[in-house]
Amino acid sequence: MFTISLKRILQGALVIVCVTFISFMLLRIIPGDPARTMAPNATEEQLQEIRNQMGVNETKLVQFQKYISDLFDGNLGYSYFNNDSVSHLIIKSIPKTMLLVINSLVFSLAAGILLGVIAAMNSKSALDDIISGFAILMQSTPNYFLATILIMIFGVKLKMFPVMGYKGYSSTILPSLMIALPITAAVIKNIRSSLMEGYGQDFIKAAHARGIHSYRVLTRYGLRSALISLLNLIGNQMAVLVGGIFVAEWIFSYPGLGLETLNALFRRDYLMTQGAILVISSFFIIVTMIIDLSYTYLDPRLRKS
Amino acid sequence: MKKSVKYICENKVFSIGIFIVSISVFIAIFAPWIVPYNPADAVPKIRMLHPFRDASHILGADYLGRDMLSRIIYGIRISLLISVASVLLSMAVGGIIGLLCGLNYPGPFDTVLMRITDIQIGFPFIVVAIIALSLVEATIPSVIIVLSLATWPAYARNVRSSTMSQKETDYVAAARIMGAKNGRIAFRYIGRNLLPTILPTVSLDIAGTMISESLLSYINLGLNPPIISLGNIMADGASYISTEWWLTGVPGVVILLIVLGFNFIGDNLQRKVDPLLNK
């Protein structure tokens, strides 16, 4: 178990380094001059000076070397467009994005497990059809379209929640819902199918035969074995989550890390984009890694390989 | 053949999926012959015509007075073309890489390529798409390639792991004894046996890619006018969302229906392939 963990952590670190290098190089091949974007009316000499200040005049490898050595000092560089250090900007926007992450994960797990259990317990009934239908409908709706519908219903018609910017906790509800609904659908389908699969197996039949109360069979036997595949599913859904954050923050103008990244990218604010991509990818890779390791730990069959 | 027709008839959801997908494929192929008007023709008189008001423009007209039905028909053509092509591309690339990795395991080729898929998966797709589409102009081929960046690693991994288990089976050993070379074993024997396990994913991926394509257009990164895709039509209407919701709503529902069709098919195939779910 220890060697597997160590190997996995080293692999993760390697991937993070590669992602940093590739995004660094790609960002600098994109056409567009950051100095020009910042000062559209400046003369050529002034532009040169700005470029010198930003350090974009040196060769790309020198820039990368400097970037990495700064990185080890915990310095992500300086965003000239925001007049602030990149790390400060990122730290400032992370809590708002984490709110969305926590909200949507809690919602999708709670609603997904509940509805999945109900569907599996009433399989082949109308209730099951409704829940499964809802799940497939949610998975088929483009998330930005879902956002539009949510804005129309809860924002414009009912005026229940704010739809733009960040005005307290209520602003997180609609974006979180937009991120959560497709994940909820995936959780419902996963729980339903693994419970139905489990209920055909002998250990569940044996538990029933021993006269154990069906609620206890569900929680102690059925759900427990369903959790491993659920964990795997959450790992796979991380991509949906990260993509959803970008879309939600963009559509709702929600001031989180996703919106900062997109704005920085469109402004050719290299260091800001670079820092944000580094943080987001690392988060993504680390969470996936933890999930990977924990189901290796939970499922003894996987430990050997 | 008879058996599959029977299966389709017995399975309501599956047949609805087949029905939706065949209609949209039909529309996509014959778009130039079935559009009532030229989708680029702007008639100022019918600007912002609401749907179902005028029998000659059943879905209304947009802010320039272009017939919505004609635009949606062309949008289906482009969106479907892009998503199907991109999934086929990533299936081909990912599949071949997966096969080679599986046969090579535990060799250096396999290690390197699997780390590349790790890196690709470690990049959030939307970031990759934005960077890539800032590098190259958004044309139909470039959007197809960018979209396939999101799906190929999954094919490579699935095919690799199935190849690794298939490699040890008796039929492969038998083929080897008969003197089949590695390439023949990979494509004629293992590859052919992997197809059924990949097919459900293909259908689900076409659905997902269709959503991604329209998303890229919606945030103004995808195809630009005069090319019409369903996402473009929605992006056009987005500025009028608070008063004229149907400008985005109608193409949105069309995307939803087509994606639903592909998801129905994919889900059912998955159940069919995985016998444990069948009970």
pLDDT score, position B2: 67
CA angle A250, A18, B209 (to 5 degrees): 45
Q: Do B219 and A250 touch (CB under 8 A)?
A: yes
Measured between CB atoms, does A188 come within 8 Å of chain B?
Answer: no
Q: In chain B, what is the straight-line distance between the N-terminal and C-terminal CA atoms, in Å? A: 24
Assess A151–B contact: CB distance below 8 Å, yes or no: yes
Long-range contacts of A171-175 (CB under 8 A, 24+ apart): A171/A252, A171/A254, A172/A96, A172/A99, A172/A100, A172/A103, A172/A254, A173/A103, A174/A147, A174/A150, A174/A252, A175/A100, A175/A147, A175/A248, A175/A249, A175/A251, A175/A252, A175/A254
Of B260, B277, B279, nearest to A140 by CB-CB distance is B260
Between B51-60, B193-202, B225-234, the lowest mean confidence (pLDDT) is in B51-60
* B248 contact residues in A (CB cutoff 8 A): 145, 148
Say yes or no: A248 contacts chain B, CB-CB below 8 A: no
DSSP SS3 for B67:
strand
pLDDT of residue B231: 87
Give B250-267 pLDDT, tens digit per residue.
888 999 999 999 988 888
Q: Are A107 and A175 in contact (CB under 8 A)?
A: no
For the stretch B142-154, pLDDT in tens is: 999 999 988 888 8
Round the average pLDDT of chain A to a whole number and report it. 83
The tens digit of pLDDT for each residue in B158-176 reads 888 888 888 788 888 888 8
Burial class from Cβ neighbours inside 10 Å (0-12, 13-18, 19+) for residue B42 reads: middle
So what's the pLDDT on residue B147?
92
pLDDT in tens, A235-288: 888 888 888 998 899 888 888 899 988 888 887 787 888 888 888 888 888 888
Contact (CB<8Å) B252/A23: no
> For chain B, how big is the Rg over CA atoms in Å?
22
What are the tokens at A185? 């659908």
Q: Tens digit of pLDDT for each residue in A107-146?
A: 999 999 999 999 988 878 889 889 988 998 888 888 888 8
Chain A contact set for B263 (CB, 8 A): 136, 139-140
How many Cα neighbours within 13 Å face the side chain of A146? 20
Does the interface ipTM go beyond 0.90? no
Average confidence (pLDDT) over A216-226: 78
The string of DSSP codes covering A125-148 is SHHHHHHHHHHHHHHHS-HHHHHH
pLDDT band for position A304 (50/70/90)? low
Cβ A265 vs Cβ B134: under 8 Å: yes
Alpha helices in B105-139 (DSSP H): 108-122, 125-135
Q: In chain A, positions 44-73, which contact chain B (CB-CB < 8 Å)?
A: none
pTM given for the model: 0.84
DSSP state of A154: I
Among A26, A145, A239, beta carbon nearest to B124: A239
What backbone phi and psi angles, to 5 degrees, belong to B57? -130, 80
B210 neighbors B263 (Cβ within 8 angstroms): no
A132 to each of A162, A185, B23, how far by Cα in Å? 31, 8, 24
Residue B19 in contact with residue B28, Cβ under 8 Å? no
Residue A105: phi, psi to the nearest 5?
Answer: -70, -45
Residue closest to A243 by CA, chosen among A143, A109, A103: A143
Mean pLDDT, to the nearest integer, of B90-109?
A: 86
Per-residue pLDDT for A5 more than 90?
no
User: What CATH number is associated with residue B117?
Assistant: 1.10.3720.10
Tell me the per-residue pLDDT of A40-81, one tens digit each, with 9 for 90 and over.
777 777 777 777 777 666 777 777 877 777 777 777 777 777
Q: Which is nearest to A285 in space by CA: B186, B7, B123?
A: B123
Give per-residue pLDDT as tens, B8-34.
Answer: 677 788 888 899 999 999 999 988 888
Half-sphere exposure of residue A277: CA atoms within 13 angstroms, side-chain side:
33
Q: Report the alpha-carbon distance of residue A58 to residue A73 in Å, rounded.
A: 21
Residue type, A148: T
Question: What pLDDT, on the 0 to 100 scale, is given for residue A303?
Answer: 61
Cα–Cα separations (whole angstroms), residue A93 to A22, A89, A174, A279, A282? 24, 6, 18, 12, 16
A30 interaction partners in chain B (CB closer than 8 Å): 131, 134-135
Question: How does DSSP assign A231-264, residue by residue?
Answer: HHHHHHHHHHHHHHHHHHHHHTT--SHHHHHHHH
Which of A136, A145, A280 is closest, CB to CB, to B252?
A: A145
Number of domains in chain B: 1
Angle at which helices A86-121 and A126-140 pack, to 10 degrees? Answer: 150
- Averaged confidence pLDDT in chain B: 83
pLDDT at A305: 47
**Contact (Cβ atoms closer than 8 angstroms) between residue B223 and residue B232:** yes
What pLDDT does residue B279 have? Answer: 41
How do strand A84-85 and strand A78-79 relate by DSSP bridges? antiparallel
**E strand residue ranges, A144-258:** none
pLDDT, tens only, B22-76: 999 999 998 888 887 777 777 777 777 777 777 777 777 777 778 888 889 999 9
* Cβ contacts from A onto B, under 8 A: 110
* pLDDT single digits (tens) A186-212: 999 889 888 887 777 787 778 878 888
The whole-angstrom separation of Cα A23 and Cα A68 is 13
Residue of A nearest to B120 (CA): A19
Residues of A in contact with B256 (CB under 8 A): 137, 140-142, 145
Higher pLDDT, B240 or B263: B263
Of B121, B207, B248, Cβ closest to residue A140? B207
Residue found by looking up tokens 């991380």 in the block: A238
CB–CB of A140 and B263 under 8 A? yes
Please calculate the CA angle B45-B48-B49 and round it to the nearest 5 degrees.
Answer: 75
Is B273 in the A-facing interface, judged by CB distances under 8 Å?
no
**In terms of Cα–Cα distance, which of A64, A56, A68 is closest to A268?**
A56
* HSE-CB for B195 with a 13 A CA cutoff: 8
Range of the domain at B236: 2-278
Cβ-Cβ contacts under 8 Å, A116 against chain B: none
Specify the pLDDT at position A12. Answer: 84
Q: Cβ of B122 and A196 within 8 Å? A: no
